[in-house]
Amino acid sequence: MAADITQEEWQDLISKDDNAVILDVRTEEEVEDGYIPNMINIDIRKGQGFLDEVGQLDKSKNYYVYCRSGGRSAQACTLMDQMGFGTTYNLLGGFMNWDGETAE
């Protein structure tokens, strides 16, 4: 089930979640400008390539999904729900509004 969550909810949930996976669905170029640490990057703009790569992920994990502003990640969460993923969280506002920890 997908849920839209705020940064504060994201940081609170993820700090207590031993089953968390952070998924960045932006392009490689966007990732080069910075990212949330310990994420995996699968670009949603790859279309079928995105579906193929996501399909290989463990569906029993909890996925925390983000993009630049929250639009593509919401779309990714919907697709993942349709593919049978149990729990997906979409970061409202995306990376451009993120004020938590980042890496480059």
pLDDT band at 2 (very low <50, low <70, confident <90, very high): confident
Place of tokens 């390539």: 49
One-letter identity of residue 75: Q
How do residues 15-48 score in pLDDT, each as one tens digit? 999 999 999 999 999 999 999 999 999 999 999 9
One-letter identity of residue 46: K
Query: Looking at the 3D structure of the chain, how many domains does it have?
Result: 1
Query: What's the confidence (pLDDT) of residue 83?
Result: 97
CATH number, domain with residue 36 = 3.40.250.10
Is residue 103 a part of any domain in this protein? no
Report CA-CA distances (Å) from 59 to 32, 83, 88. Answer: 27, 9, 10
How do residues 56-72 score in pLDDT, each as one tens digit? 999 999 999 999 999 99
3-state SS class at 86: coil
Please give the residue range of the domain that contains residue 19: 2-97
Is residue 39 a part of any domain in this protein? yes
pLDDT band at 95 (very low <50, low <70, confident <90, very high): very high
Place of tokens 């207590």: 16
Catalytic site includes residue 67 = yes
Query: What's the confidence (pLDDT) of residue 89?
Result: 98
Query: What's the confidence (pLDDT) of residue 101?
Result: 93
3-state SS class at 40: strand
Query: What's the confidence (pLDDT) of residue 1?
Result: 75
Q: What is the pTM of this model?
A: 0.96
Residue among 22, 42, 67, 74 flagged as catalytic? 67
